[in-house]
């Protein structure tokens, strides 16, 4: 059982790293050739937006590959995918003929990648919750007393407060006796 869990964690980390490399590749294409990418998606005039999306993909890819915990970066990819789908939907509405069909295919491709991102993010988040539960201490059986409550009653009745625990002389109210 533990071995299959470890294998599942390795698979999830492998998927996250694969998505990180995919982000780097896609980001480089969008950043280095924004005119070609925007023209092929029917987003003419949106070259700066496509290039900025490329920069976002590169940063996210580096974050996934460089961090010990890629979970927040994967969820960042999901948010970026939502932006991408919204932008492509705008291109779908403005496009005509062949551009519309290409934008529709692009939306389908991004939706597929989004599904992978969501599945990976959920698996990584579940792994973090499981690790937190495993590392948490269980204090439910403790009560903080060495003996039962009945045996502890009156145990400190002969306790005398040490002089240095009392209110210092200059702070005592007038007329109080120590």
pLDDT at 2: 47
> Where residue 9 falls among pLDDT bands split at 50, 70, 90?
low
The answer, yes or no, to whether residue 154 has pLDDT greater than 90, is no
Burial class (CB in 10 A: 0-12, 13-18, 19+), 83: middle
> Where residue 101 falls among pLDDT bands split at 50, 70, 90?
confident
Whole-structure pTM value: 0.68
What percentage of the chain carries pLDDT values higher than 70? Answer: 88
The answer, yes or no, to whether residue 4 has pLDDT greater than 60, is no
Query: 2-16, 56-70, 98-112, 140-154 — which one is most confidently predicted on average?
Result: 56-70
| Residues 118-136, mean pLDDT to the nearest whole number | 84
The tokens of 92 are what? 């779908």
d(CA 115, CA 41): 21
pLDDT at 152: 81
| Residues 81-93, mean pLDDT to the nearest whole number | 88
Cβ of 37: how many Cβ atoms within 10 Å?
Answer: 21
């Amino acid at each position: 059982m533990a071995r299959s869990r470890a294998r599942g964690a390795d698979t999830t980390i492998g998927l996250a790293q694969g998505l990180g490399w995919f982000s780097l590749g896609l980001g480089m294409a969008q950043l280095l050739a924004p005119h070609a990418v925007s023209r092929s998606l029917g987003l003419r005039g949106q070259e700066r937006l496509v290039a900025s999306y490329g920069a976002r993909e590169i940063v996210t890819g580096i974050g996934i590959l460089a961090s010990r915990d890629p979970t927040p970066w994967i969820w960042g990819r999901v948010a970026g995918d939502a932006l991408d789908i919204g932008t492509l939907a705008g291109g779908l509405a403005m496009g005509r003929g062949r551009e519309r069909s290409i934008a529709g295919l692009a939306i389908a491709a991004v939706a597929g990648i989004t599904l992978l991102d969501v599945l990976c993010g959920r698996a990584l988040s579940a792994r973090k919750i499981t690790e937190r539960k495993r590392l948490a201490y269980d204090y439910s059986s403790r009560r903080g007393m060495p003996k039962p409550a009945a045996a502890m009653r009156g145990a400190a009745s002969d306790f005398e407060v040490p002089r240095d625990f009392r209110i210092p002389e200059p702070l005592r109210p007038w007329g109080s006796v120590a």
